[in-house]
Chain A
Amino acid sequence: MDSQKRDESRDRRREEALARRMGDALDRLDHRGAGDCPDAELIAAYHERSLQPDEIARWEGHFAICGRCRKILAVLVATAEEALAEKEVAHLGELVAASRPIETTRPNRLAWRTRWLAPALGVAAVLAVWVAMRPPWRTAEQSPSGTLIAQAPKSEPPPNTETRAVQQFSKATPKKESETDAEALKDRPAARAQSPNLPADALAKNRLDAGGTLGKLGQNSGVVENGLRDQKKVKGESNVAQAGRTTGEAFDAAAPASPAPAPPALPGKLPEALPRPQVQAQVTRQAPSVPETPRSTNQTVVATEAAPLVSAPGSTAGGIGDNARARDKQVLAAPGGADKTAAPPPAPPAPVARPPEPLPQEQAKARATSQAPPVSETPGSVSQTVTVTEAVPLVETTNSTLGGSLDNSTVKDLPLNGRDYQALLKLDPTRVIAVQVKTPTGKILWRAGKGGNIQRSADAGRTWILQTSPSQEDWLAGTAVSDKISWMVGRNGAIARTTDGGHWKKIAPPSVAADSSGKLPDWIGITAADARQATITASDQRQYATQDGGKTWKAQ
Chain B
Amino acid sequence: MAQEPTIAPLDAFCAQYARLIEWLHAEAKGARWGLARNRFAEALRRSAEKRYGGARAGAAEVEAYLKSLHLEDLALACACGEGLEAAWEFFIKHFRQELRAAARAILRASGAGDEIRAEELADSLYAELYGVSPTGSGRRKSLFEYFHGRSKLSTWLRAVLAQRHVDLLRTSWRTVSLETEEGEQSYKVSAGSPSELRGNKWSPHPLARRADSQQADPDRERYIARLDAALSAAIARLAARERMLLACYYVDQLTLAEIGRTLGEHESTVSRQLDRIRRELREAVTQTLFRGAPARDGHGPEPGLDEAQVELAFEYALSDWPFDLSRALSKGEAAVDPPEK
Chain A residues near B (Cβ < 8 Å): 10-11, 13-29, 32, 39-45, 47-51, 56-58, 60-61, 63-65, 67-68, 70-83, 85, 468, 503
Contact = CB atoms under 8 A, between A and B. Distances in A.
B314 A17 contact: yes
A26 B156 contact: no
A75 B162 contact: yes
B106 interface: yes
17 contacts: A13-B202, A21-B228, A22-B246, A23-B251, A24-B228, A25-B232, A26-B250, A26-B251, A41-B151, A48-B155, A73-B162, A74-B109, A75-B162, A75-B166, A77-B261, A79-B102, A79-B105
Nearest to A66: B247
B159 A47 contact: yes
Majority SS at the chain A contact face = helix
Interface of B: 68, 98, 101-102, 104-106, 108-109, 146-148, 150-152, 154-156, 158-163, 165-167, 169-170, 188-190, 192-193, 196-197, 200, 202, 227-228, 231-232, 235-236, 239-241, 243-244, 246-248, 250-252, 254-255, 257-258, 260-262, 264, 267, 278-279, 281-282, 285-286, 311, 314-315, 317-318, 320, 322
A22 B227 CA distance: 11
A83 B246 CA distance: 30
A503 B151 contact: no
A80 B315 contact: no
B35 to A, nearest CB: 19
A544 B122 CA distance: 49
Given A40-B160, A41-B156, A64-B247, A19 B196 contact: yes
Contact of A29 (B160, B163, B196, B235): B235
B286 A44 contact: no
**Most B C-beta atoms less than 10 A away, residue of A10, A27, A49:** A27
Contacts of B246: 22, 26, 64
Given A21-B227, A41-B146, A48-B155, A15 B282 contact: yes
B286 A14 contact: yes
A79 B147 contact: no
A68 B165 CA distance: 11
A48 B228 contact: no
Instruction: List the 8 closest pairs (A to B, CB-CB), nearest first.
Output: A64-B243, A61-B240, A44-B151, A19-B193, A75-B162, A17-B318, A44-B159, A40-B159
Contacts of B240: 57-58, 60-61, 63-64
A18 B247 contact: no
B307 to A, nearest CB: 10
B83 to A, nearest CB: 21
Nearest to B160: A40
Contacts of B162: 40, 43, 72-73, 75-76, 79
Given A26-B246, A40-B160, A47-B155, A13 B318 contact: yes
A448 B247 CA distance: 32
Contacts of A29: 232, 235-236, 243
Given A14-B285, A40-B163, A67-B251, 11 more contacts: A16-B193, A19-B193, A23-B189, A29-B243, A47-B151, A50-B151, A57-B239, A57-B241, A60-B240, A77-B258, A503-B255
B258 A74 contact: yes
A64 B244 contact: yes
Contact of A503 (B106, B146, B189, B257): B257
Nearest to A73: B262
A94 B127 CA distance: 37
Contacts of B317: 17-18, 20-21
B156 A14 contact: no
Nearest to B148: A41
Nearest to A472: B268
A60 B151 CA distance: 17
Contacts of A14: 282, 285-286, 314
